[in-house]
Chain A
Amino acid sequence: MSAHDSAVLERHGITQDEYERIVKLVGREPNLVELGLFSVMWSEHCSYKSSRVHLKTLPTEGPRVLQGPGENAGAVDIGDGLAAVFKIESHNHPSFIEPYQGAATGVGGIIRDIFTMGARPIALLDALRFGPLSDPRNRRILQGVVAGIGGYGNSIGIPTVGGEVMFDETYGGNPLVNVFCLGVAKRDGLIKGAAGGVGNPIYYVGAKTGRDGIHGATMASAEFDESSAEKRPAVQVGDPFMEKLLLEACLEVMATDACVGVQDMGAAGLTCATSETGSRGGVGVEIDVAKVPQRETGMTPYEIMLSESQERMLLIVKRGREAEVERVFEKWDLHAVKIGEVTSDSKLRIRENGVVVAEVPNRALTDEAPVYKRPFAEPAGRKDLQQIPRELLRPAPSAADAFLRLLGAPTIASKRWIYHQYDHMVRTNTIAPAGASAGVVRVKGTDRALAMSVDGNGRFVLLDPRQGARLALAEAARNVACAGAVPIGGTNCLNFGNPERPEIMWQFAEAVAGLGEACRALEIPITGGNVSLYNETDGKAILPTPIIGVVGLIEHADRMLTRVFPAAGLDVVLLGEGRGELGGSEYLLNVHGMVRGVPPVLDLDREKALLALMATLASERRVRSAHDCAEGGLAIALAECCFNSGGVGADVDIAPVKTDAGLDALAGALFGESAGRILVSVNSDATGGVLAMAKAAGVPAVRIGRTGGSAIRIAVDGAVAVNCPVSDAESRWATSLAEWLAGRAA
């Protein structure tokens, strides 16, 4: 008979089988505190128990990789003795329950992951997903999330330099807030989250521990239902000022060699920080919870260990260097408190005023967590979803009308309403203009710059998870290549539904397999990331949404490219070719109201050639601008090249395409979302050279027209299909999101 009845186990999200595993690992029945430790560490959020077998298949090594998955963040070598340290993480569930604080603490959490590694964070990106803006609830969530991201990032002084936003019905009950952070560290100054050196003191520093966020990790590992709003107390409140002090103080401490290891307290709080550092270092950790600074009175060891109060760090300090470390924290008005020490017995031992209240092997909480090979099965209706039945198509508008409609679609329209609330310039490294496809920051003290992009089109993944994930990586890589960068590393945030459902697990397994294929082909190692499962409300899952972040290196920052046509009279060259693919497109969604069809094909060999070609064209200054064709296809990409240019138009003639049965071939040519395409503008005397280089690289390339005039004029096979003044198109694109958010659009 168990010491805990089934109701207690259920409340802790622990199955009977898992309980038996715990008993075996501990060698006896766990007490309630110990059960609490297991419940958070074995939650999906912390243990990756459903995803681990799949994640192991991702390529994680490469010539530049300094740190792969398993630490607080990944790191790649960027030359000059420096490392780029980056990771992406989700804060989806808290952002639904309390948008401002959920998003704010998401930003705070990923920033801690970066400076924990000894890196100074210098850039943030966000990938956001919301339900349709026709619903006031979704507008409120978006506004809260944007305010929260700004509220935290602006205050702490780390620029939000990019990101992307998409909308779909399925995100209405379950928005996605994925935050990416990048920092720069000295290559040989990376700090690990490992304890070591028996007898070394363990310090707690930062905010006091309160009762907030208890079981946050468990909450993030369950579906939502109508009672979710009652879980509000499990969302934490962010304090960017406290984190700013922690950031500066920790970097100052880490610049000395007084620290053995550092770990932030994020999900699962003190439990995770102590057991993971102990487990990574192969040592024991002993702390006394009575020494932990507390915000509330009467907190139990259980509550202290499980609290997810924000802005707290754990440091393992070299014995004898305590005063030095304490002095730095005192300078910043922070109190570093010694709460325990490293021991030799590989156990996590928790005392309260000296009395042992929990004692379990560290590895039992971490490495010994269960690993599930969950059953998976292709969803029944998928083949049907790949069809586009003629009878479901609405009467198609003219190409010109469709063009304007797409420019005003929330996913395509300018995101200025969002990014102008983010400080994207602080630290004076941001060299790409706001709203660019990739954020670009220079690395002061070097000639280099880092480009970064986050992408993931859930519609493509729904229709074909393997292909959708391949496309997500390719798009992120293409975006950094368009800035003139060579992709050097990736990170992923995999947002899916309930993995206990075989069709969701199938989506997940297929997507990870596709991501792995693309990473291997494009030679982009994944250095870390995050998995967010159970993104469901009332049994309805989100679009499967792997968000892929790619970091690229620009050797000469002054050779960075942007999307904007810099002048009239340039040639417009299309690299890659359109195949009229409308499956899962914005056109199909906005014009015909459906998410159907087959996503675009992706030739990974050709994509690799395209990325290399693009980087060369930029570094040799052979092109003047570059822009990837994504949502809305070539027509929208061309329009975006004209926007923010001061009214430079373009006149192009593109090739006709065949398209899926029943669909307008003209729409396919204009709005098809075929992958592997980049629009570049070229000085006309250089066009011949560019076309020759493309040919040599095996990338199809054709001059399609010229920049200039005051209209966006697109002909297909000689017949003009779109002829719209830049000012009209730009005003539609620029103002649409604000109109949607004011409830004036539909």
Chain B
Amino acid sequence: MTFAVVVFPGSNCDHDAYHAAKHVLGQDARFVWHKETTLGDADVVILPGGFSHGDYLRTGAIARFSPVMAAVADFAAAGRPVLGVCNGFQILLECGLLPGAMLRNRDLKFHCEFVGVRVERTDTPFTLLCQQGQVLQLPIAHGEGNYYAPPEVVAELEAAGRVVFRYAAADGSIVDSANPNGSLNSIAGICSEGRNVVGLMPHPERAVEAMVGSADGLVLFESVVKSLASMGSLQAVAR
């Protein structure tokens, strides 16, 4: 299974995603420079965190124009799994693969800390091994993670079960004090209509080894491996 980690100028969690996939999960992983126009043999695409192009304009606003993004859009349209983490999520919002936008955190400060993240849906390729309602301890590290979308869009997301992750207290309760940035409905991550494109602000790739504070993020990677494996076996059956 091959993980393609897209590297934009200013990406800085690219190595972390690569490390998680390659060294912790033992899968194939490779970097794809943003000027490339194909994703090659990728089975899953990760848009990593960082400050693409410095995020001097709006977060992710310039990265969406990178040549590789056309290939990412095609990959997503084919129903194949794409994960956007932090800046990668912001890029997915900017390019329209996911709806909504990010505002600055409500206290106008950058936050780096572990937060509780409740898994709302297990019917995405990145959460299928999770338990519904399970609370993962994942780090956040962002200044603009305050998720916003017009009320009708949020209603649509909720109705379609497209809110995949919510900030939550350790016991799973959704309370304002557990919401680090002011996101609407405590939204930490969402998925596309086809459920194959998932974006979230917390960093699962930073929580794949107990030594660095948590291994709760590993399940997202294991899920997509499992998802691809079962798709592979289905294809084999079909053949």
How far apart are the CA atoms of A427 and B51 in the complex, in Å? 14
Name the distance in Å between B81's Cβ and chain A's nearest Cβ.
Answer: 22
| A372 sits at the interface (CB 8 A) | no
Query: B19 contacts which of A155, A242, A428 (Cβ < 8 Å)?
Result: A428
How far apart are the CA atoms of A264 and B38 in the complex, in Å? 36
Q: Chain B 173-210, CB within 8 Å of chain A: the 1/0 string?
A: 00000000000000000000000000000010110110
How far apart are the CA atoms of A442 and B211 in the complex, in Å? 9
Name the distance in Å between A432's Cβ and chain B's nearest Cβ.
Answer: 10
- Among the stretches B106-114, B119-127, B148-156, the one at the interface with A is B106-114
Name the distance in Å between A743's Cβ and chain B's nearest Cβ.
Answer: 16
Name the distance in Å between A208's Cβ and chain B's nearest Cβ.
Answer: 16
Closest to B205 in A: A428
A157 touching B50 by the CB < 8 A rule?
yes
CB<8 Å pairs between A and B, sample of 25: A155-B10, A155-B51, A156-B12, A157-B12, A157-B50, A241-B53, A241-B56, A244-B51, A244-B54, A245-B9, A420-B111, A421-B112, A422-B110, A422-B112, A423-B110, A423-B141, A425-B112, A425-B206, A426-B12, A426-B13, A427-B15, A428-B206, A428-B208, A428-B212, A431-B211
Which residues of B125-153 are within 8 A (CB) of A? 139, 141, 143
Which residues of A321-354 are within 8 A (CB) of B? 331-333
- Chain B contacts of A434 at CB under 8 A? 112-113
- B contacts with A: majority SS: mixed
| B28 sits at the interface (CB 8 A) | no
Quick one: given A241-B10, A244-B9, A420-B112, are A425 and B55 in contact (CB under 8 Å)? no
How far apart are the CA atoms of A333 and B109 in the complex, in Å? 31
| B232 sits at the interface (CB 8 A) | no
| B79 sits at the interface (CB 8 A) | no
A interface residue count range (under 10 / 10 to 19 / 20 to 34 / 35 or more) = 20 to 34
How far apart are the CA atoms of A425 and B50 in the complex, in Å? 12
B209 touching A428 by the CB < 8 A rule?
yes
Quick one: given A155-B55, A241-B51, A244-B10, are A425 and B139 in contact (CB under 8 Å)? yes
How far apart are the CA atoms of A442 and B20 in the complex, in Å? 15
Q: Which 7 A-B pairs have the closest CB atoms?
A: A157-B12, A241-B54, A155-B51, A423-B141, A421-B110, A428-B16, A423-B112
| A706 sits at the interface (CB 8 A) | no
12 additional contacts (CB under 8 A) given A241-B54, A241-B56, A420-B113? A150-B110, A154-B110, A154-B141, A155-B54, A157-B50, A331-B35, A425-B112, A426-B16, A428-B16, A430-B212, A431-B213, A444-B19
Closest to B12 in A: A157
Q: Chain B 1-23, CB within 8 Å of chain A: the 1/0 string?
A: 00000000110110110011001
Name the distance in Å between B100's Cβ and chain A's nearest Cβ.
Answer: 23
Q: Chain A 553-589, CB within 8 Å of chain B: the 1/0 string?
A: 0000110000000000000000000000000000000
A429 touching B212 by the CB < 8 A rule?
yes
- Chain B contacts of A150 at CB under 8 A? 110
Name the distance in Å between A12's Cβ and chain B's nearest Cβ.
Answer: 36
| A281 sits at the interface (CB 8 A) | no
- Chain B contacts of A154 at CB under 8 A? 51, 110, 112, 141, 143
- Chain A contacts of B141 at CB under 8 A? 154, 423, 425-426
How far apart are the CA atoms of A433 and B110 in the complex, in Å? 18
| A240 sits at the interface (CB 8 A) | yes
B211 touching A332 by the CB < 8 A rule?
no
A425 touching B212 by the CB < 8 A rule?
yes
- Chain A contacts of B12 at CB under 8 A? 155-157, 244, 426-427
Instruction: Tally B residues with Cβ within 8 Å of A.
Output: 34
**Count the A-B residue pairs with Cβ separation under 8 angstroms: how many?**
93
- Chain B contacts of A61 at CB under 8 A? none
- Chain B contacts of A333 at CB under 8 A? 9
Name the distance in Å between A499's Cβ and chain B's nearest Cβ.
Answer: 38
| A424 sits at the interface (CB 8 A) | yes
B9 touching A332 by the CB < 8 A rule?
yes
- Chain B contacts of A421 at CB under 8 A? 109-112
How far apart are the CA atoms of A242 and B56 in the complex, in Å? 11
How far apart are the CA atoms of A423 and B12 in the complex, in Å? 11
Query: A427 contacts which of B16, B20, B111, B208 (Cβ < 8 Å)?
Result: B16
Q: Chain A 229-270, CB within 8 Å of chain B: the 1/0 string?
A: 000000000011110110000000000000000000000000
A239 touching B212 by the CB < 8 A rule?
no
Which residues of A155-194 are within 8 A (CB) of B? 155-157
Q: Chain B 69-82, CB within 8 Å of chain A: the 1/0 string?
A: 00000000000000
How far apart are the CA atoms of A558 and B141 in the complex, in Å? 25
- Chain A contacts of B10 at CB under 8 A? 155, 241, 244-245
Q: Chain B 156-167, CB within 8 Å of chain A: the 1/0 string?
A: 000000000000
Q: Chain A 416-457, CB within 8 Å of chain B: the 1/0 string?
A: 000111111111111101100000001010000000000000
Name the distance in Å between B36's Cβ and chain A's nearest Cβ.
Answer: 11
Closest to A557 in B: B211
Q: Residue among A420, A425, A428, A429 with the most chain B CB within 10 A? A: A428
- Chain B contacts of A331 at CB under 8 A? 33, 35
Name the distance in Å between A436's Cβ and chain B's nearest Cβ.
Answer: 12
- Chain A contacts of B49 at CB under 8 A? 426
How far apart are the CA atoms of A425 and B33 in the complex, in Å? 24
- Chain B contacts of A427 at CB under 8 A? 12, 15-16
Which residues of A125-172 are within 8 A (CB) of B? 150, 154-157
- Chain A contacts of B213 at CB under 8 A? 425, 430-431, 433
